[in-house]
Amino acid sequence: MRAALAYLAIFTAACHGGTASPDAATAAIDAMPDSPPPDGAPDAPSSPNVMFVTSTVHTANLGGLDGADAICSQRAAAAGLHGTFRAFLSSSTVNAIDRLENAPGWVRPDGKPFARSAADVAAGHILYPPRLDENGATVALGEQVRTGSNGDGSTAGPWCGDWVGDSPNGTCVGSHPESALRFANDSRGSLTCADQAHLYCFQVDSKTPAPAPHATGHIAFISRDTRSGASLENLDHACAVEAGNAGLPGTYVALLGWWQSPPVSRVALAGAAVVRPDGVEIAHTPSVFDGPALDAPIAVTADGKEYVNRAWVWTGGDASFATASPFDCNTWGTGTEQVTSGTYADISGSVVMADAAGPGTSFATQSCSAEMRFYCIQQ
């Protein structure tokens, strides 16, 4: 079309006794505004793809995958979200991960990045937990999402008649939207086909990449190393070594509590945010450590490359980073007493566990001889 207009410009100039070179004519055409897409076709989305949890709940009688997609489209449209949406749902013949069509990442409705590729989703490289519905509201803790999938998004039956049945005796795989690293398949997710559950919805038609996270503040990470009940000095040294090997700035200590001293007492955070090495914000302010949930789990090692899916972590906290446990392995020396620890990446956003629903969730006591990871934080 632009070439035809260029020749038309040359011809018009000649008819009026003027001259026009092809280069000048082409430049004139390039300066003209673009014409609208043919046949009224809409412009391609220019913002990143959005993913959300449906605010509505449904039995497994969804009308198949097409019916589930229709629910996602309806919820998106009701929230003013535009584009093509797919339900993150596997069937007996389809993997949920394949339904994402290799889109270049997704953001939540609040604009925070969820993941930057389908490969990252499959590998569990989740940035911010998928806990927001289409309106940007936080889905209540403990709610379940129907996925029919393994943790990598591959199919995991049964599938309730490929999502057209709601037998109360049938079962299917589910998860929890507050779970970051196991959002597709959570061992706590137990659904019958008749249960009411949410869906995950992913936009797939935008070619705009999801942004990389870029929060700044005090850095916190989970150790690669595992230790039994070692001294605080020993664990602080281990944190410093891992941070140094990763080129992280500043000094680091183990985020561990001891008798009457909570873990957070070891650092003077002075109101700054707490972030992971990959730029994800863990807590907007340190006071969030005393609340019911983190913005994201402390799920990444110092180099920002390893996303720890599930592990036990020494904390020395009782119900949060801001409370102390009465057990501390003789102040992290050798001993036979037990220490309170938090489970890592089991439910998302705990103040003491990397991926837990709230203070006190999934806590246990472990022998001081157990080999476990620990958290490190920049002073």
Total Cβ atoms within 10 A of residue 37: 10
d(CA 253, CA 238): 9
d(CA 270, CA 314): 24
DSSP 307: B
Q: For 66-75, how does the pLDDT look when each residue is reduced to its tens digit (9 = 90+)?
A: 999 999 999 9
For the chain, percent of residues with pLDDT exceeding 70 = 72
d(CA 111, CA 213): 10
Answer yes or no: are the C-beta atoms of 89 and 147 closer than 8 Å.
Answer: yes
d(CA 325, CA 262): 7
Q: For 287-326, how does the pLDDT look when each residue is reduced to its tens digit (9 = 90+)?
A: 556 555 678 888 899 999 888 876 777 877 766 677 666 6
Q: For 207-257, how does the pLDDT look when each residue is reduced to its tens digit (9 = 90+)?
A: 999 999 999 988 999 999 888 767 888 899 999 999 999 999 999 999 888
pLDDT of residue 154: 94
Q: For 44-101, how does the pLDDT look when each residue is reduced to its tens digit (9 = 90+)?
A: 568 999 999 999 999 999 999 999 999 999 999 999 999 999 999 999 999 999 999 9
Answer yes or no: are the C-beta atoms of 355 and 299 closer than 8 Å.
Answer: yes
* Residue whose C-alpha is closest to residue 54's, from 153, 131, 167, 123: 131
Give residue 365's pLDDT band: very low, low, confident or very high (50, 70, 90): low
Looking at residues 167-180, what average pLDDT do you find?
Answer: 78
pTM of the model: 0.80
Total Cβ atoms within 10 A of residue 274: 28
Angle between helices 22-31 and 2-15 (to 10 degrees): 120
Calculate the average pLDDT of the chain: 78
- Could you give all domains of the chain from N- to C-terminal order, each with its CATH number? 2-35 (no CATH), 49-203 (3.10.100.10), 218-378 (3.10.100.10)
Q: Which two tokens stand for residue 209?
A: 């990449």
Q: Is residue 65 exposed (0-12), middle (13-18) or buried (19+ Cβ within 10 Å)?
A: buried
For residue 365, the SS3 value is strand
Strand residue runs (E) in the chain: 49-53, 85-87, 106-107, 113-115, 145-146, 171-175, 190-192, 200-203, 218-222, 252-254, 274-275, 281-283, 311-314, 338-344, 363-367, 373-378
**Length of the chain, in residues:** 379
pLDDT of residue 309: 72
pLDDT of residue 184: 85
CB environment 104-138: b (16+ within 10 A), e (fewer): ebbbbbeebbbbbbbebbbbbbbbbbbbbbbeeee
Decide which of 187 and 13 is more confident: 187
Q: For 334-359, how does the pLDDT look when each residue is reduced to its tens digit (9 = 90+)?
A: 544 444 444 333 222 222 333 332 33
Q: Is residue 140 exposed (0-12), middle (13-18) or buried (19+ Cβ within 10 Å)?
A: exposed
